[in-house]
Amino acid sequence: MANLTGPDRARYVARMFSRISPRYDRLNSIMTAGRHHAWRKLAVQLALADYADPPGLALDVATGTGDFAIELADRPEISRVAALDFAEPMLHLAAAKSNDAPIRCLAGDAHNLPFPDDAFVCVTVGFGIRNFTDLPRALAEIARVLRPGGRLAILEIVRMDGAGPLPRILPTLFRLAAPALGALFAGNREAYTYLPESVQGFLTAAQISNAIQNAGLTLHTLRPLALGSVAIHIAAKP
């Protein structure tokens, strides 16, 4: 996996998430000690904190099993949600979980969003940007489809840096525990070996802030979570 790039990496990621889709939610709860719902709720609250316009459209990119989309659809500021992912088995689960919520699930690639410019008041990405093959391009696409003043909320596991023991201890624990938990609870050691590897090869929270700003968005909030191993970034389109 480490040496895959571009379309090969995208195909690998899509196949991997398709395979683990039936057990994805269970592993998410185990790996985050049940915190991931609260994190998504907080991210949406922060993103929409000063929203004062009539209800508008939202987009959840790399929606997976749809938890961010469901959180968005629950908010009075949001009229309808588009939930996009390239792994169709994940989307089927998202559609099944959506019940009567105003959510439309659709297959698509984050690097080429099938929406017009300025369409959305809010875009979310949960644990997705780390898997993108071209983050600047995906962020440029998000910036394009956000309407001026619209908000972006990114929830992601980040590469830890800085002084002190935590940036050494936590990644090591994660590297050891994730494959074992994946093998035990998802029957898939490979996918959960990819998880810590993808974090180590990824960006720090400060580097994500830079990438967001390089896409022309204004950073509003950086909220570290889980001892700094997870972060919420909130940004706005000027």
Ligand X SMILES: C[S@@+](CC[C@H](N)C(=O)[O-])C[C@H]1O[C@@H](n2cnc3c(N)ncnc32)[C@H](O)[C@@H]1O
Binding residues (CB under 6 A) for ligand X: these are 10, 13-14, 17, 28, 62-64, 67-68, 85-87, 90, 109-111, 126-128, 131-132
- Among residues 88 and 118, whose Cβ is nearest to ligand X? 88
Least distance to ligand X from the beta carbon of 94, Å? 9
Please report, as a single letter, which amino acid is at residue 233: H
Structure tokens at 177: 């525990």
Strands 146-157 and 230-236: antiparallel
Which two tokens mark 57?
Answer: 């459209």
By beta carbon distance, the residue nearest ligand X is: 64
Angstrom CA distances, 104 to 48, 59, 69, 196, stand at 20, 10, 9, 31
2 or 163, CB closer to ligand X?
A: 2
H/E stretch holding 221 reads strand 218-225
CB 103 to ligand X: min, Å:
13
Task: Specify whether the CB–CB gap between 199 and 174 falls below 8 A.
Answer: yes
Q: How far is the CB of 156 from ligand X (least distance, A)?
A: 9
Give whichever of 90 and 105 is closer to ligand X, judged by the CB atom.
90
Q: What is the rounded distance in angstroms from the CA atom of residue 113 to the CA atom of residue 118?
A: 12
**Smallest separation (angstroms) from ligand X to the CB of 125:** 7
Dist CA 123 CA 69 (whole Å): 10
Are 153 and 234 spatial neighbours (Cβ–Cβ below 8 Å)?
A: yes
Residue whose CB is less far from ligand X, 144 or 238: 144
Q: Which is nearer to ligand X, 62 or 72 (CB)?
A: 62
Nearest distance in Å: CB 202, ligand X: 12
